[in-house]
């Protein structure tokens, strides 16, 4: 009986110890009830194990900072905790929390940059989703010297990175730095298109090709028309005609207009293709894959003019007289 009593005591003690451990290794109830967007914890660089464990306990990610520290010492992980912003699950236990921090498995956020966004629109979209101000992104782009040969001269363009921040869906660390973020997007452009653009059978350089693609992107709403629009732009360039592209005027204006007026066409800017011959000094937006393919494989035609219908499609003509006649027909 005595042995049975001792054994029972040991079993009860072990069970109590396990229950205590299980309870204190789990997140607090208030943490589990938080929505996903609020389950973020930022651990600052240089924080000690004591500071990290207290912060996790205060947030409710763990119930016991003492148990967390003990586990770190037992497993010899006290020196491997990495700074960053983490998103912990509603039922993630202490061991999982420790593993995530030692791996540096920081919070990621999925952001989609649409085709045709300008750099300022991209900065605004990134700012809305990440822990960074739009002005900080713009400033980083302006102040850094970007060692990428294909980029235009920064003195001649509004934004040197305009057109080269590849439109795609990105999985980005929540607390990524502005320069690192911009480099990531430039790297994606290079991976997808740089070699093909550099090897293109044309007299145009990479910046000129991307500039044409950005004009096509902003002018063409229908994918099937983009090669034809690219062909019209090339035809006008070959005939030494001003491109007269409305989208370039919109880019030159301080504020985008719902509809351009005649006075808008007089804005003095090298981006204004109604005033200045040839291409703008750089792209006016980030072109998508269809637009970039179109400038490499434009559709052959004798068209020199086009204008948009209300549904976004275009009417193409060879002469200015035909252009005016077709406009009159549409306006009737």
Side-chain-side CA neighbours of residue 89 (13 Å): 12
Instruction: Report whether pLDDT(184) > 90.
Output: yes
Give a yes or no: residue 86 inside a domain. Answer: yes
* Tokens read off for 172: 């980005």
Query: Is the residue at 259 inside a domain?
Result: yes
What pLDDT score does 3 carry? 63
Q: How many CB atoms lie within 10 A of CB 65?
A: 19
Please indicate, yes or no, if residue 41 is contained in any of the structural domains. yes
Handedness of CA 285, 277, 307, 204 (dihedral sign): negative
Are 74 and 127 found together in one domain? no
> Whole-angstrom Cα distance, residue 213 to residue 190?
15
Q: Quick check: 154 pLDDT over 90?
A: no
Q: Is residue 145 part of a domain?
A: yes
Token duo for residue 303: 């068209």
Tens-digit pLDDT profile for residues 277-313: 999 999 999 999 999 999 999 999 999 999 888 888 9
| pLDDT value of position 30 | 79
Domain limit, last residue, from 76, 105, 134: 105
CA distance 257 to 243: 20
pLDDT at 190 over 70: yes
Return mean pLDDT, the chain.
88
Domain-embedded: residue 249:
yes
Residues 254 and 160 occupy one common structural domain: no
CATH of the domain at 16: 3.30.1490.480
- What is the average per-residue pLDDT within 170-187? 92
Taking the alpha carbons of 276, 282, 285, 287 in that order, is the dihedral positive or negative? Answer: positive
In this structure, the answer to whether residues 191 and 221 fall within a common structural domain is: no
Question: Which of 229, 225, 202 lies closest to 215, judged by CA?
Answer: 229
308 in any annotated domain: yes
Mean pLDDT of 191-213: 96
Q: Based on the number of CB atoms within 10 Å of its own CB, is 18 exposed (0-12), middle (13-18) or buried (19 or more)?
A: exposed
Clarify whether residues 217 and 324 are in a common domain. yes
pLDDT in tens, 56-104: 988 888 888 888 888 888 888 888 889 988 988 888 888 889 999 999 8
Residue 187 and residue 227 in one domain: no
Q: What angle do CA 287, 288, 292 make, to 5 degrees?
A: 75
Residues 158 and 275 occupy one common structural domain: no
Is it the case that residue 53 has pLDDT exceeding 50?
yes
Last-in-domain residue among 198, 228, 259: 198
Asked whether residue 192 falls in the same domain as residue 211, the answer is: no
Q: Tell whether 150 and 95 lie within a shared domain.
A: no
Number of domains in the chain: 3
Provide the β-strand partners of residue 172. Answer: 109
Sign of the Cα torsion 310, 331, 228, 285 reads negative
What Cα–Cα distance (Å) separates residue 47 from each residue in 52, 61, 78, 88, 229?
6, 17, 11, 18, 57
62, 47: one domain = yes
244: exposed, middle or buried (Cβ count in 10 Å: 0-12, 13-18, 19+)? middle
The proportion of the chain whose per-residue pLDDT surpasses 70, expressed as a percent, equals 92
Q: Residue 33 sits in which domain range?
A: 10-105
Write out the two tokens for 22.
């299980």
242-287, pLDDT tens digit by residue? 999 999 999 999 887 777 878 888 889 999 999 999 999 999 999 9
- How far CA 98 is from CA of 67, 75, 102, 127, in Å, comes to 12, 10, 6, 30
Domain co-membership, 172 together with 101: no
Residue 2 domain flag: no
Same domain, 315 and 262: yes
Last residue of one domain, picked from the residues 198, 228, 258: 198
In this predicted structure, what is the pLDDT of residue 25? 62
Do residues 79 and 187 both lie within one domain? no
Within a domain: 4: no
Q: How far apart are CA 228 and CA 299, in angstroms?
A: 5
Secondary structure in 3-state letters for 169-234: EEEEECCCCHHHHHHHHHHHHHHHHHHHHHCCCCCCCHHHHHHHHHHHHHHCCCHHHHHHHHHHHH
């Amino acid at each position: 009986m005595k042995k049975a009593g001792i054994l029972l005591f040991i079993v009860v003690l072990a069970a109590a110890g396990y229950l205590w451990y299980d309870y204190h290794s789990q997140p607090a109830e208030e943490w589990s009830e938080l929505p996903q967007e609020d389950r973020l914890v930022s651990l600052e660089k240089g924080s000690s194990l004591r500071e990290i464990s207290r912060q996790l306990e205060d947030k409710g990610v763990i119930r016991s900072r003492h148990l967390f520290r003990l586990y770190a010492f037992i497993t010899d992980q006290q020196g491997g905790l990495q700074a960053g912003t983490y998103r912990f699950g509603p039922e993630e236990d202490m061991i999982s929390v420790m593993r995530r921090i030692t791996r540096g498995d920081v919070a990621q956020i999925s952001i989609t940059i649409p085709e045709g966004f300008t750099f300022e629109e991209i900065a605004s979209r990134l700012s809305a989703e990440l822990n960074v101000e739009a002005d900080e992104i713009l400033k980083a782009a302006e102040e850094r010297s970007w060692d990428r040969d294909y980029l235009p001269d920064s003195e001649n363009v509004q934004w040197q990175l305009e057109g080269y921040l590849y439109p795609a869906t990105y999985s980005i660390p929540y607390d990524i730095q502005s320069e690192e973020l911009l480099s990531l997007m430039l790297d994606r452009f290079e991976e997808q298109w740089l070699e093909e653009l550099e090897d293109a059978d044309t007299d145009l350089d990479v910046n000129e090709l991307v500039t044409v693609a950005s004009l096509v992107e902003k002018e063409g709403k229908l994918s099937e028309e983009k090669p034809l629009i690219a062909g019209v732009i090339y035809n006008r360039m070959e005939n030494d005609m001003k491109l007269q592209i409305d989208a370039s005027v919109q880019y030159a204006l301080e504020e985008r207009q719902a509809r351009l007026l005649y006075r808008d066409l007089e804005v003095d800017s090298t981006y204004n293709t109604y005033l200045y011959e040839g291409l703008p000094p750089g792209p006016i937006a980030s072109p998508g894959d269809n637009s970039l393919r179109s400038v490499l494989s434009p559709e052959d035609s004798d068209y020199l003019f086009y204008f948009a219908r209300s549904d976004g499609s275009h009417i193409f003509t060879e002469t200015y007289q035909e252009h005016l006649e077709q406009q009159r027909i549409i306006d009737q």
